[in-house]
Amino acid sequence: MWEQQVVFWLLALAMGGAAIGVVRSNDVVHSVLFLIVVLAGAAAQYILLAAEFVAWVQVLIYIGAVVVLFLFGVMLTRAPMGDDGARLNNDQRGAAAVVALLIFGVLTALLVDAFGGQEIRFGADLVAQGRPQAIGSDLFRNFVVPFEVLSMLLLAALVGAVVLARKD
């Protein structure tokens, strides 16, 4: 069990540092790279939790598609890079830090109070539950209507993005 703990803490430290890098970096492209570290760390945490299929979906959709979209956004809006970083932040950083610390403190106190000391039991059934076969059969047996609604949402988002971004 201690190997899992070592991997978890290494990943958690990398993710925490990279998450702070996303919101503190003075270069938009560096922020995107830090975001990749956070997303890859999250995928590794899913593997650690035996959610194999969701981990690969995370790699494909987030790191593969969403990050590329962000890089296109950076390119098309000519975001300031290098030492021009003061333009990236507004003047309410102190208040934002207070709000974030409050949220983190309250959530942590609540979680320790509610779930302190509860262990996750790992076993063969957990591994089987994360496989694409199990997820696919549950998805198409019990969640067909939400799945179809989601396809309509994606279509609407696609058309909406084209209509918004077209030049005329």
Partner 1 sequence: MELNQFLILSAFIFAVGVYGVLARRNGVLVLMSVELMLNAVNINLIAFSAFNHNIRGNIFALFITAIAAAEVGVGLAIVLLIYRNLRSPDLDRVEQLKG
Question: What is the footprint of partner 1 within residues 75-114 (CB under 8 A)?
Answer: 76-80, 87-90, 92-93, 95-97, 99-101, 103-104, 107-108, 111-112
CB nearer to partner 1: pick between 8 and 82: 8
Interaction mask 26-65, partner 1, x per CB under 8 A = --x--xx--x--xx--x--xx-xxxx-xx--xx--xx--x
Is 168 in a helix, a strand, or coil? Answer: coil
Of positions 6, 63, 74, 168, contacts partner 1 by CB under 8 A: 74
For residues 17 and 11, give the distance between their C-alpha atoms in angstroms, rounded to a whole number.
10
23 counts as binding partner 1 under rule CB under 8 A: yes
* 153's tokens: 């949402």
73 counts as binding partner 1 under rule CB under 8 A: yes
133 counts as binding partner 1 under rule CB under 8 A: no
Q: In angstroms, give the least distance from the CB of 83 to partner 1.
A: 15
Q: In angstroms, give the least distance from the CB of 113 to partner 1.
A: 10
Q: What is the DSSP letter of 82?
A: G
Nearest to 25 by CA among 78, 73, 80, 69: 80
> How many residues belong to the site for partner 1 (CB under 8 A)?
90
Q: Which residues contact 127 (CB under 8 A, 6 or more apart)?
A: 50, 52
Buried b (16+ CB within 10 A) or exposed e, 19-31: eebbeebbbbeeb
152 counts as binding partner 1 under rule CB under 8 A: no
